[in-house]
Structure 1
């Protein structure tokens, strides 16, 4: 089912009713009910396990179920599981929000909101009203996050994330969930420039060298830098996939783990295409163009399984050590399990019944980035001629990205933040 169909009038009721009963049956006599298959029995068992994990706040069980099979199965279950995992099931702390001062990125947010939900029909007055309502909800969700945490910067792609939350959770729950995702998972994307998230992506080079050196050797020969999955990482593929069921399935998984899991996922996608990739002409522009096209027929379960295996084998700390490329000490990757910045009770990983205190992260946002002593820039590990070629071919690659990834990705890459990062990195 495509996002357009799901967002059509009444998407919540239609998706909920289609999954309202574990057995898939409604009323009617036993004589007309179909016999249960192995798949339907497995689904019933999974739903019972999910229900028990949600009731008991068992994070580890939810993690296990997010890695296997259909994840959290239905939007109805997601509306219970996601708030628990993001700890928005309890009222948030009361804070004073000054809405009188416009956020510095407010104009860009409004432009992106106007361009959102364009797939919804607006032929009739009721359809126009519905589309306008969804856009207003999206604007509210994004601005709420930015007004509560003024140190955060908006990036083009965060509106795709918030759109997914609205589809599954509805406006009120999505507003709370977006704040948690911004502060705990996407914080590196929401700083004054994109360098922190690009440094995350540089760790994919180390992953490929460890797991599939032939693929990485091919990328090295074509002088392809690891920044092509940018939109995958900053939107969790919400911008790149049209099948919303696949997007929601990925969100089930990514919400359960360290923010760097999206980079493991990107590496798994690249390795899943190794045969096709190695047949591409070993040319920078050709390889970059091929890789930016997220595979529409991707086997999500295979990608999730492989990403989890990579994460288990090379956890974030280990991967940074093996690559000798340390992210900032205050990166969301490195603070994710620290005291006072952990989503769960660290003693047994149970759901906490207290609201999230965002104060430690707000304080962190006011501090300068902290690099480990003697650490070199991630970019210094790439050959200078590769960086020069990347700069020279930037215009061509952006054009290909616009055709294959979409307008939002092109706008992001052309954003002031990205241009600033290029200038500071010596790529321009």
Structure 2
């Protein structure tokens, strides 16, 4: 501060002290910056969020998750996410037997070592902090697998849990990861990839209904609908670089049926239609273009479009229209069952009772239930396309390893493509 400004400040201070208290308030009001339209809208949104959280109003939280900046910041997310995932209620559960080793534990440990790469480790204190975060991540994932040994770990679940830890912290993330695994990502955590591939097949149905020109182009290039696999199994945490966008997307996806991630994929593809239709109509070229999640994506537009698709073609209606039925025990089809519903089924308010995972654990021990005479989702695609996809997969993986990553590796090793 210059000497002139110091004197000026001293002058105003002395004048204020000589005036009445009302005069001081008047001066403060005169110096206060006027509120902008955006700041007023943000304050209003925060008030609505506070009220929805206090009253447990799911519908209001959904409305706010669809529009604007979602839940605004991590402070509000730390209150809203546990309510939506029903982890705000203390759970009376037996302690986990940490001496038991899950069949996928070695892979979990490998993925944890490769996590939190964005954190600097130049100094010893930074190394200690990074190691602590990796230990937290290992705890969160293994806790889920040890409590529910029928679940299988997949590469990408660590991305989901990393997001939870960043927003919620270790303890709250541990509870949230269990709910997400059992209610939202269960189809990804079975013994094979077929349930997830069937979910992705429903994206084809959405494109045929909403943008048949784009789907016709994909058919001509023999591009199967499995390119956005990593988007679905990580809720884009593996593909988006901006963490604020990831958290914003989680605000939205946590509020709806697990199939909403597929509606997101359809909205993203349609948002790129002009660029897509200019790509050479070649399987490898089209697949490589589509696997790269657009960096400049207008996330609010995508969320709004996905919600519109979801409202127009709800999960059950979409399955009926397309003839692609997910199995009856899919997390998509059990999400609203009374005994497996996250919310109070009567009015969809926040439940005050802790989650009982028993019914879902029992489902995990049962065989998949397909509708009578229903064929696999893959049988709906020409054999030539499947063979081409399998043959080109290794080439495409090398061509765009950074963007395909987990998705390509999972598909390449899937028995369904052998």
The residue number in structure 2 matching 1:365 is: 364
Deviation at 1:33, TM superposition (A): 2.8
Partner SS for 1:321 = helix
Deviation at 1:361, TM superposition (A): 0.1
Deviation at 1:401, TM superposition (A): 3.9
Larger Rg: 2
The residue number in structure 1 matching 2:75 is: 76
The residue number in structure 2 matching 1:146 is: 145
The residue number in structure 2 matching 1:135 is: 134
**Mapped partners of 2:380, 2:407: distance in 1:** 26
The residue number in structure 1 matching 2:255 is: 256
The residue number in structure 2 matching 1:277 is: 276
The residue number in structure 2 matching 1:91 is: 90
Deviation at 1:29, TM superposition (A): 4.2
Identify if the C-alpha distance between structure 1 residues 29 and 137 changes in structure 2 by more than 3 Å, giving closer, same or farther: farther
Provide Cα deviations, 1:53-77, integer angstroms capped at 9, x if missing partner.
Answer: 0000000000010001110001000
The residue number in structure 1 matching 2:387 is: 388
The residue number in structure 2 matching 1:210 is: 209
**Mapped partners of 2:166, 2:121: distance in 1:** 18
Partner SS for 2:275 = helix
The residue number in structure 1 matching 2:300 is: 301
The residue number in structure 2 matching 1:183 is: 182
Unaligned residue ranges in structure 2 (runs of 5+): 1-26
Partner SS for 1:237 = coil
Identify if the C-alpha distance between structure 1 residues 221 and 157 changes in structure 2 by more than 3 Å, giving closer, same or farther: same
**Mapped partners of 2:223, 2:147: distance in 1:** 39
The residue number in structure 1 matching 2:192 is: 193
Provide Cα deviations, 1:370-424, integer angstroms capped at 9, x if missing partner.
Answer: 1010111111111121112111111112223413344x4454445xxxx2x3x3x
The residue number in structure 2 matching 1:233 is: 232
> Structure 1 residues 102-111 or 86-95, which shifts more?
86-95
Aligned pairs for 1:42-53 within 5 A: 42-53=41-52
Q: Does 1:164 align with 2:156?
A: no
**Mapped partners of 1:217, 1:323: distance in 2:** 16
Length, aligned pairs only: 392
Verify the 8 A CA contact 2:227 2:407 in the aligned structure 1. no
Verify the 8 A CA contact 1:327 1:371 in the aligned structure 2. yes
Aligned pairs for 1:105-124 within 5 A: 105-124=104-123
Quote the RMSD (CA, aligned, Å).
1.2
**Mapped partners of 2:252, 2:290: distance in 1:** 23
**Mapped partners of 1:413, 1:114: distance in 2:** 23
The residue number in structure 1 matching 2:222 is: 223
Aligned pairs for 1:336-415 within 5 A: 336-406=335-405, 408-414=406-412
Aligned pairs for 1:10-25 within 5 A: none
TM-score (norm 1): 0.90
Verify the 8 A CA contact 2:217 2:277 in the aligned structure 1. yes
Verify the 8 A CA contact 2:203 2:262 in the aligned structure 1. yes
Provide Cα deviations, 1:185-240, integer angstroms capped at 9, x if missing partner.
Answer: 00000000111001100000000000000000000000000000000000000010
TM-score (norm 2): 0.92
Deviation at 1:285, TM superposition (A): 0.4
**Mapped partners of 1:110, 1:30: distance in 2:** 57
Structure 1 consecutive aligned stretches of length 4 or more whose deviation exceeds 6 Å: none
**Mapped partners of 1:394, 1:120: distance in 2:** 32
Unaligned residue ranges in structure 1 (runs of 5+): 1-27
